[in-house]
Structure 1
């Protein structure tokens, strides 16, 4: 009995997918990350590029799906829990209302400059007085 006829394009895709580096947790472990790893780059490149190249009927569908997924991948809000990662944004710095303006007196620290260095290294007397 003759062996079943195989499609050379399917064999090529199988060889490509066998050569892809697979993360131990599975395919979805590298999807929700903020940095584009080598695995995701090669996966998207081979998967979508060869599907565009070999199937012209689904070209536009995969094309728009690919760019919409890239938009979702890079432009999700920072508080959105993607893949278990939650990025907490810092409080923005308001330069117009600074907590330490340049005219503030030097704080009593370990290293002091100028006249502040000649002051005794002790807390002010107001802090030591018991009312």
Structure 2
């Protein structure tokens, strides 16, 4: 079992790396005019079988419905999503991607990849493979969950 100091140090290193990755992603997202939160919403909409309801988005993103409204407003102004009525219940609003939204998603994917490359640049291909294996182990472990 690792020493508590080692676990604390590793946790701190992971937090620093996460913050560094977020900063790099934010830098790469800025030219697209999209915030990280808007990016998450776009990806969430893209990975649903049918246009999600606003309430579904709030639940999936683990935010209050008002936050989703603000994000959708901004993305609608950007031209990336549009509100559409639910075909079975006119009181329900769904959110769907536009062609601009699909293009934006491709650009977001490229921006996230560039940010990751910025972070991973010092590592050799072998080190990247080891890191990937370690991260897979950590992310699929069935221990205690936060």
Structure with greater strand percent: 2
Q: TM-score range by the shorter chain?
A: under 0.3
Structure with greater helix percent: 2
Relative CO higher for 1 or 2, CA cutoff 8 Å, sep ≥ 6?
A: 2
Higher Cα Rg: structure 1 or 2?
1
